[in-house]
A and B are shown apart, each in its own frame.
Chain A
């Protein structure tokens, strides 16, 4: 008898419309249950205080991964292991496969969904940084219809998002990645598996005639939300890739981070790690853009 959870009622709506109506009605007393890997622990530890769970288990197609025009659409209910094993994802954004595989453990990745990893808005989550640099949007279905939000604007604070009562995150849309572009995700943790990131950095670069045409860098676990390091990225534009350049960008990224000290590392150490990971992520992204390296 390992689990003593507070008294809770569970709802299994059969379609999104029903789910939205329920969520709207229940307001702050409800949480969405998808993979449950964070939520059930939160409930047990009494970090989440809700009396209703709205399960998405019965909703058809919420876990579908498909082409959507030139973009890739990943259903919010797709598990990390399914995304990592999907050949479209591997072609489209191989760094997302890396990020999925860096999450938690094998078994948890069999349950944990991309939607949950995003909507939980835990600062150390592994998937948001790479999705942010890839310009991903999330689609939110509410009682009155759908809306799309750029992922970089979705997070409002630790465990706080732009989602309104009654809304469900239904899918993630990743636009076609430009030609000659490459992305990467580098994570540092205190153990080689089943560990939360001390820091995580995703980078994307787009190359043109040997120069960096555009770049994006996103930082995880070093600010209240996953965060674009815009000034660091700007410093790369129209420059020739070099270790010195990446070091310069990394130093700027450090200044854009706002880490806290906690049990996994001091703020000072996190800044050190951001610097190292940013440079390494950029090196990898450029290598991928040049088609030289596939992890």
Chain B
């Protein structure tokens, strides 16, 4: 891990630009917001998984201090949410899950709001629960929604390339297994928050922790039936998101409606239990995978069949197969591939986007299954991978165009660092897994763009105005570093202005590991435009041709001259506008990457302008008496294109690995008849400091032609192959395969006994 000398700032370790306000407690998170006259909003949720209901709010309305009580009847014209628009913010007459919103109150304080919630009278008439995807798919199963009489979403995925069934039949070795992926929670340390304030009947300001400010503006306009041009979204400092805030949710609409009804600002802040029950989850899945290969270990067939529990309504979880298709079609070279996915309505929780967006689930199934194939074929798992590596220049079955590809380098570096060939002690295991993920944006909407404005003031202060969202991942710092590199201005003179749809330009949102790539490119190009302006101005001042101006470390000087006689950025900036008919040094660049919207039927198209690769490898020791898995060492080697902020990228990978370890070994939302049994941080187990193994990170810099300075997006990569690597290592230790996550001590012990 050598420091990069090619650049002044890029590649160095730079503390986050927002670190100080966060270290001093000055950062204003949602629950720190104080608006004059603000009321407390609270939501009444269903006490049944599936039931018809009637409601009486009259007692609640009479409680002193209660300002408004609303139900679906209050604002009947409000439209549904969700990408299938199947989710009303307030449910009318029927609930389909414990999270379903049936009424809401606004009151002068939380205690009164709670009292009012308790005073609302609801009579339920139970309907049969449908909490199991197999049951939901049976003929005559109770129907959740009229628009889906078979409980299956109309929207399906079917991708095929070649003739996978024939190829599998003809394969020398083949294996088929089914893998089960559990519900897990994002567990942002900050629970969900929204506040809303109206100015007249159709002008709305929302204070939000959203990851999609501009899409939220659109969603709110459509759902509330007011012009989106009258809506302003102001984002708070966001205490973690990881994809959970990528959609617009019922509680946000309800906040707006309560504020409208009361004519006062209203906030809704979840507590931890509500966060567990009523925010989105990672998409659970049952995945059956088959692989076939030749005698030499050349992969010839992959068939991937996923059934997803869609829960009661649709958020982005239902679209995760779109991204599952990337590893299914393109992780290693496989000539014949099929992916099918169907989504089934149940009375369980519904899933949203969560770091990796379906890819960790798919990669767990694929990479576990490849180890199983290796065993059947009698080929070392590493050797099997080596014979099928992706390569630069390849076009994959899904028409992904691989420009740079560090798969081979990542794998070799990771297995070397984990000492793959070292003999194993008893109950010790070693395993690894690979990944591919979008690394150059992802065109999920028509636009994958983002706009950035850079201005330089008289004093050399650079302000970057952006619509991009900082959720802790460090984009603001990356933008500041890029500006510092390009304009030679020290980091402390750079500020980032974001979090407001009124001045931030359109951004498609924080998803798909896109922000540093997309916004980085926009920042880079805007800075270069400003630099041109400054060079031109400096040339005028020096009375030379612009081509003869040298710009180095923030100083302009004539070619052949010395920096000591040069002009600094602030002076050049002043020379531009402290004059008649002056100009202000500033520029706007809107960057939209060269990638394609995939055809929704065939799922083909180059969705990202580059792809990130990575390998996770680990060594584990299993306690054969308790089944407890201890990770002795964890190695992550990633093709990151180019490191922008070494400190930031390390943090992203460390954090991803921690979430991946939790996914693999501990985290599990346990539902019984649709009811979550562990809605707390005691029994929903996140990894803590003592659970983390020693980690080694390896960066493979493949210098991507489209990335800013060659960088690829890396925000999600850190957890994509983690669970698969751990499962493969556990199999190596105990000689039995665990196909259901999480790999709990209890399952491990049962598996050990099964082998005996």
Contacts and interface: CB of A to CB of B under 8 A. Distances in A.
A192 B111 contact: no
12 contacts: A4-B111, A188-B626, A190-B744, A193-B690, A193-B691, A194-B688, A195-B682, A196-B682, A263-B678, A269-B746, A273-B626, A276-B625
A191 B269 CA distance: 29
Interface of A: 1-2, 4, 188, 190-196, 263-266, 269, 272-273, 276
B263 to A, nearest CB: 22
Nearest to A279: B625
Which secondary structure dominates chain B's binding surface? loop
A4 B749 CA distance: 42
Contacts of A195: 682, 685
B271 interface: yes
A248 to B, nearest CB: 16
B111 A194 contact: no
B194 to A, nearest CB: 15
A4 B691 contact: no
Nearest to B624: A276
Given A272-B749, A276-B625, A193 B678 contact: no
Contact of B670 (A4, A263, A273): A263
B677 interface: yes
B691 A263 contact: no
A190 B685 contact: yes
A165 to B, nearest CB: 29
Closest 3 CB pairs of A and B: A192-B690, A276-B625, A269-B746
B688 A264 contact: no
A273 B748 CA distance: 13
Interface string B676-694: 0110001101011111000
Nearest to A270: B746
B40 interface: yes
A188 B31 CA distance: 37
A279 B241 CA distance: 45
Interface centre among A4, A188, A265 (most CB of B within 10 A): A4
A32 to B, nearest CB: 22
A189 B685 CA distance: 11
B749 A191 contact: no
A263 B683 CA distance: 8
A76 B111 CA distance: 33
Nearest to B630: A192
B666 interface: yes
Contact of B682 (A1, A188, A192, A194): A194
B616 to A, nearest CB: 21
B691 A191 contact: yes
A269 B628 CA distance: 12
Q: How large is the interface on B (under 10, 10 to 19, 20 to 34, 35 or more residues)?
A: 20 to 34
Interface centre among B40, B678, B688 (most CB of A within 10 A): B688
Nearest to B623: A276
Given A2-B271, A191-B691, A192-B690, A276 B626 contact: yes
A196 B682 CA distance: 8
A272 B358 CA distance: 36
Interface in B735-756: 744-746, 749
A263 B677 contact: yes
Contact of B114 (A4, A191, A272): A4
B504 to A, nearest CB: 30
Contacts of B749: 269, 272
A197 to B, nearest CB: 12
Which secondary structure dominates chain A's binding surface? loop
A272 B627 CA distance: 10
Nearest to A280: B625
Contacts of A192: 688, 690-691
Contacts of B678: 263
A252 B509 CA distance: 60
Contacts of A276: 625-626
Interface of B: 31, 40, 109-111, 114, 269, 271, 625-626, 628, 666, 670, 677-678, 682-683, 685, 687-691, 744-746, 749
Contact of A266 (B682, B687, B746): B746
Contacts of B682: 194-196
A188 B685 CA distance: 15
A264 B110 contact: no
Contacts of A2: 271
A266 B746 CA distance: 8
A191 B625 contact: no
Contacts of A191: 666, 685, 687-688, 691
A276 B626 CA distance: 7
A247 B689 CA distance: 34
Contacts of B744: 190
B626 A1 contact: no
Contact of B40 (A1, A266, A269): A1
B625 A1 contact: no
A199 to B, nearest CB: 10
B691 A265 contact: no
A192 B686 CA distance: 11
Nearest to B750: A269
A38 B626 CA distance: 28
Contact of A4 (B110, B625, B626, B683): B110
B388 to A, nearest CB: 37
A277 B745 CA distance: 14
Contacts of A194: 682, 688
A86 B689 CA distance: 26
Contacts of A263: 670, 677-678, 683
A38 to B, nearest CB: 11
B109 A190 contact: no
Contact of B666 (A190, A193, A266, A273): A190
A276 B109 CA distance: 52
Contacts of B269: 1
A195 B678 CA distance: 13
Nearest to A2: B271
A263 B746 CA distance: 12
Nearest to B683: A263
Nearest to B273: A45
Contacts of A272: 625-626, 749
A272 B746 CA distance: 9
Contacts of A196: 682-683
A266 B749 CA distance: 12
Given A193-B688, A263-B683, 15 more contacts: A1-B40, A4-B111, A188-B628, A190-B685, A190-B744, A190-B745, A191-B688, A191-B691, A193-B689, A193-B691, A194-B688, A196-B683, A263-B678, A265-B746, A269-B749
A55 B687 CA distance: 35
Contacts of A1: 31, 40, 109-110, 269
Contacts of B271: 2
A59 to B, nearest CB: 30
A93 to B, nearest CB: 25
Contacts of A269: 745-746, 749
A265 B685 CA distance: 13
B334 to A, nearest CB: 37
B249 to A, nearest CB: 21
B569 to A, nearest CB: 47
Nearest to B742: A190
Contacts of B110: 1, 4
B599 to A, nearest CB: 44
Nearest to A277: B626
Interface centre among B40, B626, B677, B749 (most CB of A within 10 A): B626
B685 to A, nearest CB: 5
A265 B114 CA distance: 34
Contacts of B685: 190-191, 195
A70 B626 CA distance: 39
B742 to A, nearest CB: 10
A1 to B, nearest CB: 5
Contacts of B690: 192-193
Contacts of B677: 263
A73 to B, nearest CB: 32
Contacts of B683: 196, 263-264
Interface centre among B269, B687, B689, B745 (most CB of A within 10 A): B745
